[in-house]
A = this chain, B = another copy of it.
Amino acid sequence: MIEPVVVMLGRGRVPVDTPLLRADDLGVLRGDGVFETMHVRGGRPWLLDEHLARMVNSAARLELPLPERSVLRELAETALRGWPADQEGALRLVCTRGPEWGGPATVFATLAPIRDATRLARAQGLTVATATLGFPVAVREGAPWLLGGVKALSYAVNMACQRWAAQQGLDDVLWVSTDGYALEAPTSTLCWLRDETLSTVPADQTGVLPGTTARWLLDHAADLGCRATEQLVQPEELTAADGVWLVSSVRGVAAVRELDGVALKPSPLTADLQRLAGHPI
Contacts and interface: CB of A to CB of B under 8 A. Distances in A.
Interface stretch (A12-20, A239-247, A260-268): A12-20
A25 B19 CA distance: 9
B143 A131 contact: yes
Quickly give the copy total for this chain: 2
Interface in A75-116: 92, 94, 96, 99-101, 103, 108, 110, 112
A23 B23 contact: no
Interface stretch (A66-74, A149-157, A189-197): A149-157
Contacts of A8: 23
Contacts of A101: 4, 16, 112
A184 to B, nearest CB: 15
Contacts of A32: 155-156, 159
Given A19-B22, A21-B19, A112-B101, A30 B134 contact: no
- The 10 closest A-B CB pairs, nearest first, are A31-B31, A154-B154, A154-B156, A152-B156, A19-B19, A30-B155, A21-B21, A31-B154, A145-B164, A134-B135
A158 B174 CA distance: 24
Contacts of A96: 28
Interface residues of A, number: 62
Given A16-B101, A146-B133, A94 B156 contact: no
A16 B24 contact: yes
Contact of A94 (B23, B27, B178): B23
A121 interface: no
Contact of A62 (B24, B35, B136, B160): B160
A71 B103 CA distance: 30
A163 interface: yes
Contacts of A159: 26, 30, 32
Q: Is the interface of A mostly helix, strand, loop or mixed?
A: mixed
Contacts of A103: 17
A30 B28 CA distance: 9
A169 B271 CA distance: 54
Contacts of A62: 156, 160
Q: Name the residue among A19, A147, A152, A161 with the largest chain B CB count within 10 angstroms.
A: A19
A30 to B, nearest CB: 4
A94 B29 contact: yes
B18 A20 contact: no
A164 to B, nearest CB: 4
20 contacts: A6-B24, A8-B23, A19-B22, A23-B94, A24-B110, A27-B28, A28-B28, A28-B153, A29-B35, A29-B155, A30-B31, A30-B153, A31-B154, A100-B112, A131-B145, A136-B178, A145-B160, A146-B160, A153-B154, A154-B155
